[in-house]
Amino acid sequence: MSHCNLVDIVDYLDGELPPNKEKAVRTHLEECEECDFVMSDIKALRAFAALIGLSFEGPINST
């Protein structure tokens, strides 16, 4: 698998991937430091946004 795209990482964090794709993304994140770092950044951004009262609802544009 090449690098994950942002939408796949967000959908993975939200538990919105089908089981086969979730497994593939999880395996990739365990093996790819760069994608794991992106996932950590998304988690940190969400935590900060929650701290200041923002939320990220709705679809993410992958373009």
pLDDT tens by residue, the chain, 63 residues: 578 899 999 999 999 999 999 999 999 999 999 999 999 999 999 899 888 987 766 565 655
Residue 45 domain flag: yes
The angle subtended at Cα 14 by Cα 10 and Cα 18, nearest 5°, is 90
Closest-CA residue to 45 (of 58, 55, 30)? 55
Q: Has residue 26 been placed in a domain?
A: yes
In a domain? residue 40? yes
57 found inside a domain:
no
Cα–Cα distance measured from residue 50 to residue 63, given in angstroms and rounded to the nearest whole number: 25
Q: Is 60 a member of any domain?
A: no
Structurally, the chain folds into a number of domains equal to 1
The verdict on residue 36 lying in a domain is yes
pTM for the full predicted model = 0.76
**Interacting residues of 30 by C-beta distance below 8 A, sequence separation 6+:** 36
Q: Quick check: is 11 in a domain?
A: yes
Q: Is 11:4 a contact under the CB 8 Å cutoff?
A: no
Terminal CA-to-CA distance of the chain, rounded, Å?
20
> What is the span of the domain harbouring residue 35?
6-51
